[in-house]
Structure 1
Amino acid sequence: MDIIHWLLDPFQFEFMQRALWAGLSVGSVCAVLSCYLILKGWSLMGDAISHAVLPGIVIAYVAGIALPVGAFVSGLACALLTGYIKENSRVKEDTVMGIVYSGMFALGLVLFTKVETEQHLLHILFGNMLGINDFEFLQTVIISLIVFAIIVLFRKDFLLYCFDKSHARVVGLPVVLIHYSLLILLSLTIVATIQAVGVIMVVAMLVSPGITAFVLTRQFSHMMWIALAVSLTSIITGILVSFYIDGATSACIVLVQAAFFITALTVSRLKNRARIKPRNHPLTTG
């Protein structure tokens, strides 16, 4: 009974219930999308776009328009600019992303120095899951549901593209459309997730579930289910831990995800070691 009370008592408060549902919604879409990002090798792309949305948010705030609009446009511009530079130069994609996202993040910080709203910047950087208002909550849930539905509906096309782009082109899939669709879905996911965990922690939400599942299984369908379980469990556990220790919710969630990854990696190594352990030959025993 004490355990049940420990689990349920925090959710008597409305702000905790709102944080829980917002976290579960972004956690679900991040878990599913992270599997494709890991398979495609786009982990750094999530980091790049999450930092690149800052100037768009500041400009949208100054212009008096919806912040998610500015964040989405800025993030998508980062992705398109990265692709353009990669296709028209000898620089590798990971190097281009490092330059582009660092430059756009620095631009956002410079722009923000002209806007005296320190609390607003902290909300963007670190998130405020427990203080999310009704509009942000509704926006986060709607965007997450839309992205989740699209990914599930076209999961086979995305899987083939991420696994083998050349084969996807041969079978007639519109690889260019799929490429930019993934970038748009990634940008939308980041816009939704920033409301909950902020710019700094969003990359962990987009990488940890997928990489944890990746080390535990070789089947993509199993990988998605494991990633989903890891992400949702981390959300619930992180919110509870943050409530009882009075800590940052997003940081607690990411720490739980890191613990899951370390545990999964340890289990995987032990299994591999047991599998390759040499057996004594019958003629040499005894």
Structure 2
Amino acid sequence: MIAFLRELMQPEWMFLRYALLVGALASLSLGVIGTMVVTRRISSLAGASAHAALGGVGVALFLQRVCMWTGFTPMLGAVIGAMAAALLVGVINLCAKEREDTIINVVWALFMSVGLLFLARTPGAIDLQGYLFGNIVLLDRSAIWRTMVLDVVVLAPTVLFYNNILAMSFDATFAELRGIRVKIFYLGLLALTALTIVLLIDVVGIILVIALLTLPAATAGCFTRHLWSMMILSSILSWVFVTAGLLVSSRYEFPAGPMIVVLAGVVYVVGLAVSSRRKAR
């Protein structure tokens, strides 16, 4: 371990230092938002927003290359796609009283399919693998600043409105009776979830951001009963998974993203088994 830390300080290992730092910073947002998503039981929203973001990327690339709208970048398309999908899910759920899981699956399929149709008419090579899996070991300083801004955007409202979020997460009806604007907080949660996903897709890819939004929070839920402690433990677990996955992948030359997901999945299964056994006693 000491030898590895010495190697990490070498100039040629700068890419890994960036990856470890971004992973630590991203863990804060992932732990907080992931806890609220898991508690509200809208984990599949992460997948819908992520794939809707991919649909937005498809539209943006088409507008760039075919319509010559150079200002319409893939990141802008991803933001619009993810935000539109998240808010559409929320509005339909609130107004039409439809089941969230049904709406999420419809939006997921619709937005991604639209993006793929635009990509089919977009000339030139398109690296979809980069959007799906990202590459956490190819980051620069801009990723660090972007992740820090995301942490501020996520943590500030969480701290300021923690009691309202707590009430909404566990009993929305009671919270509404107490005068809490549940609908506004609910739509705000969806928007923050979409923003977190979009800003981290460029860093870790769609697959990894979905896993890190749900697995650490679900694992933390096996051992904690309070929302704040679940957020803290989820952030710690997310950091541990990212760090351990990067160290193992760099040592044994495995892909970093899949290694992080596998470690998170194994720990979740173990945590679920331990929690079930404790409840059975």
Q: Which bracket does the TM-score occupy, shorter chain normalised?
A: 0.7 to 0.9
Structure 2 partner of 1:279: none
264, 269, 272: which one aligns with 2:271: 264
1:59 aligned residue: 59
Structure 2 stretches lacking a partner, 5+ long: none
Distance in 2 (alpha carbons) for counterparts of 1:224 and 1:49: 21
Deviation at 1:90, TM superposition (A): 7.2
Task: Provide, for residues 220-245 of structure 1, a one-character-per-residue CA deviation record: whole Å limited to 9, x for no partner.
Answer: 23222221221111111011112122
Tell me what 2:174 maps to.
167
Distance (whole Å) between structure 1 residues aligned to residue 60 and residue 143 of structure 2: 15
Structure number with larger C-alpha Rg: 1
Deviates more, 1:179-188 or 1:126-135: 126-135
Task: Supply the distance in 2 between the matched residues of 1:220 and 1:139 (Cα, whole angstroms).
Answer: 26
CA RMSD of aligned residues (A): 2.1
Inter-CA distance 105–172: structure 2 relative to 1 (3 Å threshold): same
> How do 1:168-187 residues align onto structure 2 when only pairs under 5 Å count?
168-187=175-194
Superposition pairs for residues 37-56 of structure 1, below 5 Å?
Answer: 37-56=37-56
**For 1:9, which of 7, 14, 24 is the aligned residue?**
7
Map of 2:139 onto structure 1: 132
Letter in 2 for 1:15: F
| Aligned-partner Cα distance in 1 for 2:276–2:73 | 47
Deviation of 1:87 (Å): 5.0
The whole-number CA distance in structure 1 between the counterparts of 2:180 and 2:153 is 22
Name the count of aligned residue pairs.
271
In the alignment, the residues of structure 2 paired with residue 32 and residue 133 of structure 1 have an alpha-carbon distance, to the nearest angstrom, of 24
Distance, in Å, in 1 between the alignment partners of 2:180 and 2:9 is 46
- The one-letter code matched in structure 2 to 1:118 is I
Moved over 4 A (4+): 87-91
**Identity in percent:** 28
CA displacement, residues 254-281 of structure 1 (integer Å, 9 cap, x when unaligned): 11111221221222233334xx3xxxxx
Structure 1 contact 25–145 (Cα < 8 Å) conserved: no
Distance change in 2, residues 1:31/1:8 (3 Å)? farther
Partner amino acid for 2:175? A
Structure 1 segment 57-136 matched on structure 2, within 5 A? 57-61=57-61, 62=64, 63-64=69-70, 65-87=72-94, 91-113=98-120, 114-119=122-127, 121-136=128-143
Contact 1:7 1:240 in 2 (8 A): no
| TM score, norm. by length of structure 1 | 0.86
> Contact 1:10–1:243 (CA<8 Å) still a contact in 2?
no
Tell whether the 8 Å contact from 1:132 to 1:195 is kept in structure 2 after alignment. no
SS at match of 1:130: coil
Tell me the SS of whatever aligns to 2:265.
helix
